[in-house]
C-alpha cells in the first residue's frame, strides 16, 4: 500500500550540479504532478502530466525538466542547480476523471543547493 513514493528523501547539491528526483505511484492514476514548497508559502506547480505521454508547464517551470517514463513514473530533473531551487519537492498523482482535486502526495524530497 505504498501510494506515491519519492526518492531521495534528502539531497544536498552544489551550485551547477544536476540531479533527477524520482517518483512512482501504484494507484494506476493517469495524472501526475511536481510541486515545490518554500517556507511560508503554499505549494506551487512546476510541471504536470495529465496522462502518459504528455507533459505541461505549471506556474514555476524554469530550471526544470520532466519525463513521464510510463504510467507509474514521473521524474523531475534539475540540469544546473541554483540556490533558488532549495525547497521541498512533492510529487503527486490523481485521477481527475473520477476524483477531481483529490491528489495523493508523496513524503517529499528536501533539497538544499549550496
Partner 1 sequence: GESVGLHLPTLSVQEGDNSIINCAYSNSASDYFIWYKQESGKGPQFIIDIRSNMDKRQGQRVTVLLNKTVKHLSLQIAATQPGDSAVYFCAEDSGYSTLTFGKGTMLLVSP
Asked if 46 interacts with partner 1 (CB under 8 A), we say no
Q: How far is the CB of 34 from partner 1 (least distance, A)?
A: 11
CA separation for the pair 98, 80 (Å, rounded): 38
> Which member of 43, 66, 81, 111 binds partner 1 (CB under 8 A)?
43
Touching partner 1, residues 48-87 (CB under 8 A): 48, 50, 58-59
The angle subtended at Cα 83 by Cα 48 and Cα 7, nearest 5°, is: 50
Cα distance between residue 36 and residue 89, in whole Å: 4
Cell numbers 542547480 label which residue? 81
Interface with partner 1 (CB under 8 A): 4, 31, 33, 35, 37, 39-45, 48, 50, 58-59, 88, 90, 92, 94, 96, 100-108
Amino acid at each position: 500500500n505504498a501510494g506515491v513514493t519519492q526518492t531521495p528523501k534528502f539531497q544536498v547539491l552544489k551550485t551547477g550540479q544536476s540531479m533527477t528526483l524520482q517518483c512512482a505511484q501504484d494507484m494506476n492514476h493517469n495524472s501526475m504532478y511536481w510541486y515545490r514548497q518554500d517556507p511560508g508559502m503554499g505549494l506551487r506547480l512546476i510541471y504536470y502530466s495529465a496522462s502518459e505521454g504528455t507533459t505541461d508547464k505549471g506556474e514555476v517551470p524554469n530550471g526544470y525538466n520532466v519525463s513521464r517514463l510510463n504510467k507509474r513514473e514521473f521524474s523531475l530533473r534539475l540540469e544546473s542547480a541554483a540556490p533558488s531551487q532549495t525547497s521541498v519537492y512533492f510529487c503527486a498523482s490523481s485521477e481527475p476523471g473520477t476524483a477531481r482535486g483529490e491528489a495523493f502526495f508523496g513524503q517529499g524530497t528536501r533539497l538544499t543547493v549550496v
